[in-house]
Homo-oligomer: A and B are copies of this chain.
Amino acid sequence: MAKFERHVFVCTNFREPGSARPSCSTDGKSELHTALKNAVRAAGLGSSIRVNKAGCLDQCEHGPTVVVYPEAVWYDGVTVADVPEIVSEHLIAGRPVERLTIADECLNAAVCPHRPALVTRS
């Protein structure tokens, strides 16, 4: 095969407690990444869809964050419980999960309802 049909990046960034911005992972490992990877494999999509760990995706106030390329669909507040829906709806059926999608006014916004003005961005 050639390029991945979809490439899923899961933020696994960890910051020490008390940092200016929150972390997407509590340990730098990410059970979310493991759950997504296992679910994609179980669905028989392991060779066409890659689930990757990523460093900070810069949407920290919305984490845990996941982005799916090439369509550039961004998800926030993703938990292990959301994995079956992301896999069946988005990765298999091609319908992004709207309830998890980061709002346009929030994505990369300097200030939004979830990101106070004084946060220092990485």
Seen from chain A, the residues whose Cβ lies within 8 Å of a Cβ on chain B are 1-4, 7, 9, 12, 47, 50, 52-58, 67, 69-72, 74, 104, 107-109
A53 and B54 within 8 A (CB): yes
Contacts of A67 in B (CB 8 A): 7
- A54's partner among B54, B70, B108 (CB-CB below 8 A) is B54
A9 to B50, CA, bound (A): 13
Main secondary structure of the interface of A (DSSP, over half): loop
A29 to chain B, nearest CB (A): 11
| Chain B residue at minimal CB-CB distance from A107 | B2
Contacts of A1 in B (CB 8 A): 108-109
Contacts of A70 in B (CB 8 A): 69-72
